[in-house]
Amino acid sequence: MIRKDLSGSDSQNADPYYIPSTGEGNFENLVADYESKDRVIWQKPDLVISLLGDLSGKTVADIGAGTGYFAFRIVPKAQRVIGIDIDQRFINFMDSVKVRLPEAYRDRFEPRLAMPDDPKIEPEEVDDIIIVNTYGYIEHRINYLSKLFTGLKPGGSLVIIDFKKNNLPIGPSDEFKVSLQDVQHELEKAGFTIKVVDRSSLDYQYIVQALKPEPEK
């Protein structure tokens, strides 16, 4: 995994759709980074996905899906998977993977172009949401989380996996990480109930699972 940071900011680039998260480096390098083989060891995707429980019949959104590293691993388990990203190059990349999927899986997957401040999920469209290695790139996060809250069905869950604030051999510099405490605070502000806070399963990352509560009867 290439060590990278959020180089550039809106002030460095007048383009309102400038994407700081894809920052430096050409697209091929980003793809190689996201698809690097060592991720299986340090990020344990199967363990992370198992947190979502039984996904049969469910719709899952992957926010900041990138190459679809997680989204495509979820496709065989779920009814529908939406790979959401703000970078058209990743949407095209996921489309190019989608056409190679077995027919039975192809129709389950939808790459969806979103906006930095809007995940473009319909109200109560999805059962579960994951955000992997992306949370720190989202601005105005409480407002963004409120939109995810609206997009989730009652009882649905949101899983956030991101880098711990430490001097780690992989991931962005600390400046571009969100502390676990802040993640929990922001989730609660947006109306979520924290279900799981896991600091130990992954060496470099925390896992937080939060729920959209069912309405009281």
Ligand X SMILES: C[S@@+](CC[C@H](N)C(=O)[O-])C[C@H]1O[C@@H](n2cnc3c(N)ncnc32)[C@H](O)[C@@H]1O
Q: Does residue 114 belong to the site contacting ligand X (CB under 6 A)?
A: yes
Q: Does residue 63 belong to the site contacting ligand X (CB under 6 A)?
A: yes
Residues in CB range of 102: below 8 A, 6 or more apart: none
DSSP lists the bridge partners of residue 112 as: 84
| Nearer Cβ to ligand X (63/180) | 63
CA distance 173 to 158: 25
Q: Does residue 205 belong to the site contacting ligand X (CB under 6 A)?
A: no
| Nearer Cβ to ligand X (56/166) | 166
Strand order in the sheet with 205-211: 109-113, 80-85, 59-63, 126-132, 152-163, 205-211, 193-198
Angle between helices 141-151 and 180-189 (to 10 degrees): 60
CB atoms within 10 A of CB 80: 19
Q: Does residue 72 belong to the site contacting ligand X (CB under 6 A)?
A: no
Q: Does residue 162 belong to the site contacting ligand X (CB under 6 A)?
A: no
Smallest separation, CB 137 to ligand X (Å): 4
Q: Which two tokens stand for residue 26?
A: 């050409």
2, 7, 5: which is closest to 32 by C-alpha? Answer: 2
Smallest separation, CB 214 to ligand X (Å): 27
Contact between 215 and 154 under an 8 Å Cβ cutoff? The reply is yes
Q: Does residue 32 belong to the site contacting ligand X (CB under 6 A)?
A: no
Contact between 138 and 146 under an 8 Å Cβ cutoff? The reply is no
| Nearer Cβ to ligand X (35/214) | 35
Contact segment (CB under 6 A) with ligand X among 18-26, 180-188, 196-204, 209-217 equals: 18-26
Residue of the chain from 93, 109, 135, 137 that contacts ligand X (CB under 6 A): 137
Residue of the chain from 21, 157, 205, 209 that contacts ligand X (CB under 6 A): 21
Q: Give the dihedral of Cα atoms 56, 59, 62, 65; nearest 10 deg.
A: 90
Q: Does residue 151 belong to the site contacting ligand X (CB under 6 A)?
A: no
Q: Does residue 69 belong to the site contacting ligand X (CB under 6 A)?
A: yes
| Nearer Cβ to ligand X (25/213) | 25
Residue of the chain from 48, 55, 65, 78 that contacts ligand X (CB under 6 A): 65
Contact between 164 and 180 under an 8 Å Cβ cutoff? The reply is yes
| Nearer Cβ to ligand X (2/193) | 2
- Contacting residues toward ligand X, per CB under 6 A: 19, 21-22, 34, 63-66, 69-70, 84-87, 90, 114, 116, 132-134, 137-138
